[in-house]
């Protein structure tokens, strides 16, 4: 097989084979850019090495062949004592894993060739500096010697010369450092530093292969979801030298600002240094713009090269370069990482520069990035003091009083306070506190800790692993590293995007992107910044491209109005259960306790006008757009008092000798309705069938509200949705009753309203019998929350907090199936439902209203299976619009 490619043989599209670094070195070589010649050993060879514990048979001969070709083109021989060719041996996997694997520079130097290098370059100092670097890097990464030993020896030498800078060490000093380094190698390996250049190279190659499985590389891959068996390529690249003096140096650069996307000169440069010095922070770098003053010729060539790269890659690139005696060399490039905001700005800039079209611009940004731009942000300034910085586990800006227990969180919030829950780490018992709090701060645990996983799932701000904080739960306080003690009730601010924690209130403001969605910033006006303008253009194009409609889940007129401003074209899920809470609880109690038809009807009659009022306002907010109202779904006992609490109340009253008749009856009812698995109990359509008149009352409220809106000149478009149907017979019964009520109301009002009647598909049986169900349903809405619960047999409330973080750690799934639709399982049921439903009724309207409606990956799936719309929470509407556009392109 062919295990090696010369830089002139490959291209940027061969990342899987050559790794990102190798593929792009090849691309630059073929563009005619100044890349030091070299070759790439493929990832295939690495996989072979990892699998068999040794390199492929032919590799050695192929290395010899390519090395000879390299030597010929350079006119030098590796490690030649008189005039040595030196090479770097560099890792480079297909997926970028910055700093995770090894690179060795100056391979080919030994006690003899260091003299040749000195003679050829005319600089003794440079030669010894290069040699000490080789022993240092090789000793650490290839021979596995603790790098600190070398660092200490170097520091010691600097101390002896009374300096802190390596530049103050002259040739003599550095020769002395080499001696000390060689001694370290001898002491720790029992052998001399390898003097044979080819042996050095082979050892370095194997060390790079091995670094694929270093602990930090494994951890990094797990976190970034990079497959563990891909392997790394190895790049052997002839050395160029930035450490030859003041006319040399090395640097990194971006073709635009990766923070904001702004055009300009961004990067760092370090004179008289070798590559790794820049990142290692050995000395202070200067801004790249200063290079113009230091070396105008090299600077101009660099600028031209960067422009060339951008035009070629049609994207922001980051690069590594070295200047050797005023000559520019390119050592690396790749399409650079950027912030969410920069991604939008750069995409539209590139359109304006004619490098990409709008379709491509939409493809270049993601819903996740848009989501990040919608979080409120802390305004800098104010007089809060930063206490520490933890891990940015779940983005957002939260301000509130510190509380230390879940109970305290709930109590304080009931009093109308905003709180931040502070814990050493959270556990499932903290769930209610996490729900109540503005944000969560923990001193232990990483980004997959309980707190982090649950907070992200809830979209709640979270900073975790703030290890400098001493959290004292018992005494309800924590101590910051500077000794500041924060007691329960003290206001703190936490930034889930940066991990920062402050004492005091840092002011927050809505992001400019949200103000644009709210209609407060006109994207065409001067108020709009580059970001708002870019978001507007990209979303407009996504809207023009998408096939999926986007609706919202909203139960209040306020939410409906906001979602409409955010671009929702209707409501896909209007839950009616909140309409049974608050003061209306008493009416529900009456309904449940009703003795006989008359009492029950009285209770329903009292509820009906209240329901109607709710619908009137929502229909008005969504005038002209569909509003899918779901009839009552949760078990009725959710509206009743808590069993334990009520038992205590009754017992106390009895002790006092004043038993309360009403409470006794209520207690009996609560006991009678107790369910072990409420999720699988009396709820949804089952309620409608078991509690006479309940759904009829809701249908009547919908119909009357619609008539009234019409009479007022409005255009209400209600749709009636029956939850939790598993058999067509259930739906038929409710449908018959509903149609009767609708006809009655139309008759009474003299106005025609004919809402569509449809069902949720959220019980596996419904998906499997969708063909029959479609006979009685004008639309389906996939309730993917329940469908996920029932397909996996997970009760979401119980499992998510209890053990999902362990499932994620163990890799049983990469992401919670409640967050992103499980395509193979739940998705298959959706597909069956779609196909069978449409077959039975070609004009069946199909939508989804689970939380997956706002999840980018899931939106793509729903596009693929051919749904008509997705429905999601108001804040996710723009994300869904963008992803629906991306799915269609």
Query: Which region, judged by CB under 6 A, interacts with ligand ADP, from 158-166, 237-245, 396-404, 564-572?
Result: 237-245
Q: Give the helix/strand (H/E) hosting 423.
A: strand 419-423
Provide the 10 A C-beta neighbour count for residue 223: 11
Please give the size of the binding site for Mg ion, defined by CB under 5 A: 5
Choosing from 93, 105, 440, 563, the residue that interacts with ligand ADP (CB under 6 A) is: 105
- Helix axis angle for 597-621 and 557-565, nearest 10°, is 30
Q: How far is CA 107 from CA 55, 72, 239, in A?
A: 20, 17, 9
Residues 6+ apart with CB under 8 A from 878: 370, 374, 517, 539, 566, 567
Residues numbered 60 to 89 that lie near ligand ADP (CB under 6 A) are: 88
The option from Mg ion, ligand ADP, none interacting with 331 (CB < 5 to 8 A, set by class) reads: ligand ADP
Nearer to Mg ion, 216 or 547 (CB): 216
Half-sphere CA count of 787, side-chain side, radius 13 A: 33
Question: CB of residue 136 vs ligand ADP: minimum separation in angstroms?
Answer: 13
Q: CB pairs under 8 A, 24+ apart, for 674-677?
A: 674/637, 674/643, 675/635, 675/637, 677/795
Q: How far is CA 856 from CA 479, 496, 885, in A?
A: 40, 21, 11
Using CB positions, name the residue nearest to ligand ADP.
275
Nearer to ligand ADP, 54 or 223 (CB): 223
Q: Is the dihedral of CA 197, 249, 282, 252 positive or negative?
A: negative
- Report which of 417, 420, 390, 388 is spatially closest to residue 405, judged by C-alpha positions: 420
Helix, strand and coil in the chain, % to nearest 5: 50, 20, 30
Annotated catalytic residue, options 48, 66, 173, 450: 450
The option from Mg ion, ligand ADP, none interacting with 276 (CB < 5 to 8 A, set by class) reads: ligand ADP
Choosing from 43, 332, 789, 858, the residue that interacts with Mg ion (CB under 5 A) is: 332
The option from Mg ion, ligand ADP, none interacting with 786 (CB < 5 to 8 A, set by class) reads: Mg ion
The option from ligand ADP, Mg ion, none interacting with 594 (CB < 5 to 8 A, set by class) reads: none
Choosing from 104, 205, 239, 464, the residue that interacts with ligand ADP (CB under 6 A) is: 239
Nearer to ligand ADP, 108 or 499 (CB): 108
* 409, 428 Cβ separation under 8 angstroms: no
Tokens 């090894």, residue located: 102
Rule CB under 6 A: is residue 563 a binding residue for ligand ADP? no
Choosing from 371, 390, 783, 827, the residue that interacts with Mg ion (CB under 5 A) is: 783
Choosing from 15, 66, 90, 886, the residue that interacts with ligand ADP (CB under 6 A) is: 90
Nearer to ligand ADP, 103 or 271 (CB): 103
Choosing from 240, 298, 531, 697, the residue that interacts with ligand ADP (CB under 6 A) is: 240
Choosing from 730, 786, 819, 822, the residue that interacts with Mg ion (CB under 5 A) is: 786
* 788, 818 Cβ separation under 8 angstroms: yes
Q: Which two tokens stand for residue 378?
A: 């802390």
Measured distance CA(864)–CA(476) in Å, rounded: 52
Residue 669, classified by CB atoms within 10 Å of its CB into exposed (0-12), middle (13-18) or buried (19+), is middle
Rule CB under 5 A: is residue 439 a binding residue for Mg ion? no
Residue 444, classified by CB atoms within 10 Å of its CB into exposed (0-12), middle (13-18) or buried (19+), is middle
Query: Which region, judged by CB under 5 A, interacts with Mg ion, from 266-274, 278-286, 324-332, 660-668?
Result: 324-332
Nearer to Mg ion, 310 or 320 (CB): 320
Q: Is the dihedral of CA 340, 342, 344, 347 positive or negative?
A: negative
Rule CB under 5 A: is residue 139 a binding residue for Mg ion? no
Choosing from 136, 255, 322, 369, the residue that interacts with ligand ADP (CB under 6 A) is: 322
Question: CB of residue 839 vs Mg ion: minimum separation in angstroms?
Answer: 25
Question: CB of residue 43 vs ligand ADP: minimum separation in angstroms?
Answer: 15
Query: Which region, judged by CB under 6 A, interacts with ligand ADP, from 234-242, 443-451, 783-791, 852-860?
Result: 234-242
Q: How far is CA 233 from CA 1, 106, 226, 368, in A?
A: 15, 19, 15, 31
Collapsed DSSP state (helix, strand, coil) of residue 325: coil
Nearer to Mg ion, 332 or 369 (CB): 332
Nearer to ligand ADP, 332 or 781 (CB): 332
Measured distance CA(331)–CA(28) in Å, rounded: 9
Question: CB of residue 566 vs Mg ion: minimum separation in angstroms?
Answer: 24
Annotated catalytic residue, options 237, 317, 462, 849: 849
Residues numbered 1 to 60 that lie near ligand ADP (CB under 6 A) are: 36
Q: Show the binding pattern over residues 752-781: x = contacts Mg ion (CB under 5 A), - = does not.
A: ----------x-------------------
Measured distance CA(827)–CA(764) in Å, rounded: 11
Question: CB of residue 24 vs ligand ADP: minimum separation in angstroms?
Answer: 11
Using CB positions, name the residue nearest to Mg ion.
786
Q: Give the helix/strand (H/E) hosting 592.
A: helix 585-593
Rule CB under 6 A: is residue 207 a binding residue for ligand ADP? no
Question: CB of residue 320 vs Mg ion: minimum separation in angstroms?
Answer: 5
Question: CB of residue 105 vs ligand ADP: minimum separation in angstroms?
Answer: 6
Nearer to ligand ADP, 324 or 614 (CB): 324
Choosing from 291, 331, 607, 701, the residue that interacts with ligand ADP (CB under 6 A) is: 331
Distance of CA 659 to the CA centre of its chain: 56
Choosing from 6, 276, 407, 577, the residue that interacts with ligand ADP (CB under 6 A) is: 276
Residues 6+ apart with CB under 8 A from 685: 722, 723, 724, 725, 730, 731, 734, 759
Rule CB under 6 A: is residue 332 a binding residue for ligand ADP? yes
Query: Which region, judged by CB under 6 A, interacts with ligand ADP, from 99-107, 488-496, 747-755, 811-819?
Result: 99-107
Residues 6+ apart with CB under 8 A from 104: 88, 89, 134, 137, 138, 141, 142, 204, 207, 208
Q: How far is CA 867 from CA 779, 824, 844, in A?
A: 11, 17, 10
Q: What is the end-to-end Cα distance of the chain in Å, rounded?
A: 39
Q: Produce one character per residue of 342-359: b if its CB has 16 or more CB atoms within 10 Å, e if not.
A: bbbbbbbbbbeeebbebb
The option from ligand ADP, Mg ion, none interacting with 822 (CB < 5 to 8 A, set by class) reads: none
Rule CB under 6 A: is residue 261 a binding residue for ligand ADP? no
Rule CB under 6 A: is residue 237 a binding residue for ligand ADP? yes
Nearer to ligand ADP, 237 or 420 (CB): 237
Tokens 């690396």, residue located: 332
- Report which of 516, 502, 470, 485 is spatially closest to residue 397, judged by C-alpha positions: 502
Residues in binding site for substrate: 575, 630, 762, 783-786
Rule CB under 6 A: is residue 99 a binding residue for ligand ADP? yes
Measured distance CA(740)–CA(734) in Å, rounded: 10
Q: Produce one character per residue of 719-743: b if its CB has 16 or more CB atoms within 10 Å, e if not.
A: bbbbbbbbebebbbbbbebbeebbe
The option from ligand ADP, Mg ion, none interacting with 783 (CB < 5 to 8 A, set by class) reads: Mg ion
Residues in binding site for Mg(2+): 762, 786
Question: CB of residue 684 vs Mg ion: minimum separation in angstroms?
Answer: 7
The option from Mg ion, ligand ADP, none interacting with 847 (CB < 5 to 8 A, set by class) reads: none
Rule CB under 6 A: is residue 320 a binding residue for ligand ADP? yes
Nearer to ligand ADP, 218 or 751 (CB): 218
Please give the size of the binding site for ligand ADP, defined by CB under 6 A: 15
- Catalytic (active site) residue 450: yes
DSSP state for residue 854 in the 8-state scheme:
G
Q: Which two tokens stand for residue 93?
A: 């996997």
Residues that bind ligand ADP (CB under 6 A): 36, 88, 90, 99, 103, 105, 237, 239-240, 275-276, 320, 322, 331-332
The binding site for Mg ion (CB under 5 A) comprises 320, 332, 762, 783, 786
Active site residues: 450, 849
């Amino acid at each position: 097989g062919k295990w090696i490619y010369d830089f002139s043989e490959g291209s940027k599209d061969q990342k899987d084979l050559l790794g990102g670094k190798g593929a792009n070195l090849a691309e630059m070589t073929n563009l005619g850019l100044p890349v030091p010649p070299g070759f790439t050993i493929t990832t295939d060879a690495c996989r072979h090495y990892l699998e068999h514990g040794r390199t492929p048979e032919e590799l050695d001969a192929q290395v010899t062949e390519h090395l000879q070709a390299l030597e010929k083109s350079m006119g030098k021989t590796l490690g030649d004592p008189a005039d040595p060719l030196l090479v770097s041996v560099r890792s480079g996997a297909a997926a970028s894993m910055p700093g995770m694997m090894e690179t060795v520079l100056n391979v080919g130097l030994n006690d003899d060739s260091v003299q040749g290098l000195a003679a050829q370059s005319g600089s003794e100092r440079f030669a010894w500096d290069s040699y000490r670097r080789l022993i240092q890097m090789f000793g650490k990464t290839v021979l596995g010697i603790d790098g600190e030993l070398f660092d200490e020896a170097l520091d010691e030498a600097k101390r002896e010369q009374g300096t802190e800078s390596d530049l103050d060490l002259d040739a003599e000093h550095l020769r002395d450092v080499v001696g000390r380094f060689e001694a370290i190698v001898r002491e720790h390996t029992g052998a001399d530093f390898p003097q044979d250049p080819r042996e050095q190279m082979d050892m370095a190659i194997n060390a790079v292969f091995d670094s694929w499985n270093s602990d930090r590389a494994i951890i990094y891959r797990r976190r970034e979801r990079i497959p563990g068996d891909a392997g790394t390529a190895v790049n052997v690249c002839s050395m160029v030298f930035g450490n030859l003096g003041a006319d040399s140096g090395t640097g990194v650069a971006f073709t635009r600002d990766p923070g904001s996307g702004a055009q300009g000169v961004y990067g760092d440069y370090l004179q008289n240094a070798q590559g790794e010095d820049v990142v290692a922070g050995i000395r202070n770098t200067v801004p790249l713009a200063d290079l113009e003053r230091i070396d105008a010729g090299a600077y101009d060539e660099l600028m031209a090269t960067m422009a060339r790269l951008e035009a070629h890659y049609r994207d922001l690139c980051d690069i590594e370069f070295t200047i050797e005696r005023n000559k520019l060399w390119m050592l690396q490039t790749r399409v650079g990482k950027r912030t969410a905001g920069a991604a939008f700005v750069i995409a539209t800039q590139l359109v304006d520069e004619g490098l990409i079209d709008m379709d491509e611009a939409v493809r270049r940004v993601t819903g996740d990035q848009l989501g990040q731009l919608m979080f409120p942000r802390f305004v800098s300034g104010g007089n809060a003091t930063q206490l520490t910085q933890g891990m940015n586990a779940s983005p957002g800006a939260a301000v509130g009083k510190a509380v230390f227990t879940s109970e305290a969180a709930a109590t304080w919030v009931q009093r109308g306070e905003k709180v931040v829950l502070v814990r050493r780490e959270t556990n499932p018992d903290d769930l209610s506190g996490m729900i109540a709090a503005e944000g969560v701060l923990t001193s232990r645990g990483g980004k997959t800790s309980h707190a982090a996983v649950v907070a992200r799932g809830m979209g709640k701000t979270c900073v975790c692993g703030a290890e400098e904080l001493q959290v004292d739960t018992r005494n309800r306080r924590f101590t910051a590293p500077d000794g500041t003690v924060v007691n329960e009730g003290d206001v703190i601010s936490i930034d889930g995007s940066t991990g920062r924690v402050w004492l005091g209130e840092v002011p927050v403001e809505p992001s400019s992107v949200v103000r644009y969605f709210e209609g407060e910033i006109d994207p065409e006006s001067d108020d709009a910044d580059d970001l708002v303008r870019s978001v507007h253009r990209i979303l407009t194009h996504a809207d023009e491209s998408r096939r999926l409609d986007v609706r919202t889940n909203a139960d209040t007129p306020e939410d409906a109005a906001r979602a409409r401003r955010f671009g929702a074209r209707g409501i896909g899920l209007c839950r009616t259960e909140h309409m049974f809470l608050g003061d209306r609880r008493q009416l529900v109690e009456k309904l449940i306790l009703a003795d006989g038809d008359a009492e029950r009807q009285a209770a329903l009659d009292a509820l009906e006008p209240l329901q109607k009022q709710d619908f009137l306002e929502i229909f008005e907010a969504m005038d002209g757009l569909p509003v899918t109202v779901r009839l009552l779904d949760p078990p009725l006992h959710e509206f009743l008092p808590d069993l334990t609490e009520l038992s205590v109340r009754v017992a106390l009253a009895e002790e006092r000798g004043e038993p309360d008749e009403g409470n006794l009856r209520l207690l009996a009812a609560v006991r009678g309705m107790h369910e072990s698995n409420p999720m699988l109990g009396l709820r949804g359509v089952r309620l409608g069938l078991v509690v006479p008149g309940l759904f009829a009352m809701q249908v009547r409220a919908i119909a009357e509200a619609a008539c009234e809106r019409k009479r007022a000149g409005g255009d209400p478009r209600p749709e009636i949705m029956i939850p939790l149907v598993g058999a067509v017979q259930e739906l038929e019964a409710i449908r018959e009753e509903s149609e009767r009520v609708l006809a009655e109301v139309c008759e009474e009002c003299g106005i025609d309203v004919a809402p569509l009647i449809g069902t949720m598909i959220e019980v596996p049986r419904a998906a499997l019998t969708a063909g029959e169900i479609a006979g009685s349903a004008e639309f389906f809405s996939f309730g993917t929350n329940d469908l996920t619960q029932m397909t996996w047999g997970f009760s979401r409330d119980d499992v998510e907090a209890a053990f999902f973080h362990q499932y994620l750690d163990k890799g049983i799934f990469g992401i919670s199936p409640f967050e992103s639709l499980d395509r193979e399982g739940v998705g298959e049921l959706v597909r069956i439902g779609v196909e069978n439903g449409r077959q039975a009724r070609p004009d069946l309207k199909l939508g989804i209203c689970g939380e997956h409606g706002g999840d980018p990956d899931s939106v793509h799936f729903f596009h693929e299976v051919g749904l008509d719309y997705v429905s999601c929470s108001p804040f996710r509407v723009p994300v869904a619009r963008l992803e629906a556009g991306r799915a269609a392109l």
